[in-house]
Structure 1
């Protein structure tokens, strides 16, 4: 069976007084997921808005990805398939930091 799907992610950014907020939305046609992310400029740093945009957007997409993964895990459990073991820790950096 061949399937072709296209899911689009919309990303909305807003910035006010050195704080950037991002909202990432995914509509699968069957469900909608929303992720949020924020970034702020340290007052001692030079304000470079694109950096805040990138940080807030990446955090929103990471939040969205986590919500989508949790939904997939719930659906696998409901189907009796079990889930992949969950790891704690950052998932990057030092491998021994992830248990």
Structure 2
């Protein structure tokens, strides 16, 4: 059975006073989920905005991914399907 979907994803970054905040949203067509992340620059560190963007965005995407995995695991339990494999800490499984 072939199956193709498109989930629209948006990532918003906001920087103010040395703090970068990120909001990641995914629209599945039936549900919209939002993940949040933040990064704060230590005053002793050089001002490199890209680093704050990367950290905040990565944290927002991790939050969003955790929500998707939580929903999937709940759906697996509800349907009585086989339990999914344990989650890797982050990234691709080795």
Q: Please classify the TM superposition score into its range, dividing by the shorter chain length.
A: 0.7 to 0.9
Structure 2 CA distance for aligned equivalents of residues 83 and 19 of structure 1: 39
How many Å separate the matches in 2 of 1:57 and 1:3?
Answer: 29
Residue 91 of structure 1, CA deviation: 2.1
Question: Which portions of structure 1, spanning 4 or more consecutive aligned residues, are displaced by more than 4 angstroms?
Answer: none
Could you state the TM-score of these two structures normalised by the residue count of structure 2? 0.88
- After superposition, give the CA deviation of every residue in 1:46-66 in whole Å (9 maximum; x if it has no partner): 010010000000000000000
Q: What is the DSSP-based 3-state SS (H/G/I as helix, E as strand, rest coil) of the residue aligned with 1:22?
A: strand
CA distance in 2, matches of 1:82, 1:20: 40
2:27 and 2:43 map into 1 onto residues whose CA distance is 37
Shift of 1:85: 5.6
CA-atom RMSD in angstroms? 1.6
TM-score, length basis structure 1: 0.84
Alignment of 1:1-99 (within 5 A): 1-84=1-84, 86=86, 91=89
Structure 2 residues without counterparts, runs of 5 or longer: none
3-state SS of 1:25 partner: strand
